[in-house]
Amino acid sequence: MIKKLTVPSRGAKVAAGAVVVTLSFAAVAGAETFGFGTTPTEQEIAAIDIDVMSDGRGYPEGSGTVAQGKEVYASKCAACHGENMEGVKEAGGAALIGGRGTIGTPKTKKTVESYWPYASTLFDYTKRAMPFNEPGSLSNDEVYAVSAYILHKANIIDANATMNAETMSKVEMPNKDGFIADPRPDIFNYR
């Protein structure tokens, strides 16, 4: 008898047109899984597991002050984002502060200060992608420091603040309640 073998999958709700799973792979091959690939070491995971979540998970060790951040900013960010974080058009670096209260008005100005719902995103993004000309080059201390400086200039934290995993997790951004779930379809001309 010829049997059609298919892949193990919970793909019962796969896009229309896909074959519905009929026979479990385990039954035919006597194995639970294919087992390809290797088990990554903790170090291998840690080396690229750089994300920081809004509830504070993922912040690395280290710390930085507003004062230290001022130095980092001047030497590594100002050229593209401006002395006063007003943005530098020619460099493609956006304004990082200002615009509070403009969101949804004809003068909408989206910045870290006015728009970003979580401080974790500032840390996460700066660490992974900035400075644009040398992405991923900052130490954790430098990222804490420059985040502190930006948050201070945005009038979110004090001038004498020291930022670390704990203090960063506690920052409340001005627009933290500014986001809603997608309600689409939002136009109902159905046929």
Partner 1 sequence: MTKAKNPDLTYPDLSSYEIPEDKLAQIEGMRDAEKRALMARKAELEECECREGMFPNPMASRRSFFAGAAAAAAAAGSLPVVARAAAPPGAKEFEVPSDPTKVQGRLTNDDGGYGSRSQFEDEVRWRFPTKTKESSWTMTPLAAGMGMITPSGLHFERHHGGIPTINPASHSLIVHGMCDKPKKYSVADLKRFPSDSRINFIECSGNGLTEFKAPYLKTVQGTHGLTSTSEWTGVPLSTILDEVGVKPGAAWILAEGADAAVMTRSVPIDKAWSDAMIAYGQNGEALRPEQGYPIRLMLPGYEGNTHIKWLRRLEISDKPFQTREETSKYTDVVKDGKARQFSFTMEAKSVITFPSGEMKLPGPGFYEITGLAWSGRGRVKDVEVSTDGGKTWHLASLQGPILPICHTRFRFPWMWDGNPALIASRCIDETGYMQPTIASINEVRGVNGHPKFASIYHLNGIMAWAIGADGSVVNAAHKV
Shortest approach of ligand HEC to residue 159 CB, angstroms?
A: 18
Q: Which does 30 bind (CB under 5 to 8 A by kind): partner 1, ligand HEC, none?
A: none
From candidates 27, 47, 91, 159, binder to ligand HEC by CB under 6 A? 91
Pick the closest to residue 156 from 178, 172, 143, 168 (CA basis).
Answer: 172
Contacts of 176 (CB under 8 A, 6+ apart): 117, 118
C-alpha dihedral over 147, 52, 96, 76, to 10 degrees?
50
Q: Which of 133, 155, 159, 170 binds ligand HEC (CB under 6 A)?
A: 133
Output 119 or 157, the one with its CB closest to partner 1.
Answer: 119
Of residues 49 and 83, the one with the C-beta less far from partner 1: 49
Does the footprint of ligand HEC cover residue 99 (CB under 6 A)? no
CA distance 83 to 10: 53
Nearest to 65 by CA among 171, 169, 158, 173: 158
Q: What 3-state class would DSSP assign to 93?
A: strand
Q: Does 13 bind partner 1 (CB under 8 A)?
A: yes
* Candidate residues 1, 2, 15, 20; the one interacting with partner 1 per rule CB under 8 A: 15
CB of 131 to partner 1, least distance (A): 11
CA 139 vs. chain centroid, Å, equals 17
Question: At how many degrees (to 10) do helices 66-76 and 140-153 cross?
Answer: 100
Interface residues toward ligand HEC, by CB under 6 A: 76-77, 79-81, 91-94, 96, 112, 122, 125-126, 130-133, 138, 146
Interface residues toward partner 1, by CB under 8 A: 7-11, 13-18, 33-40, 44-45, 48-51, 53-55, 89-92, 103-110, 112, 115-118, 120-121, 124-125, 128-129, 132, 135-136, 178-187, 189-191
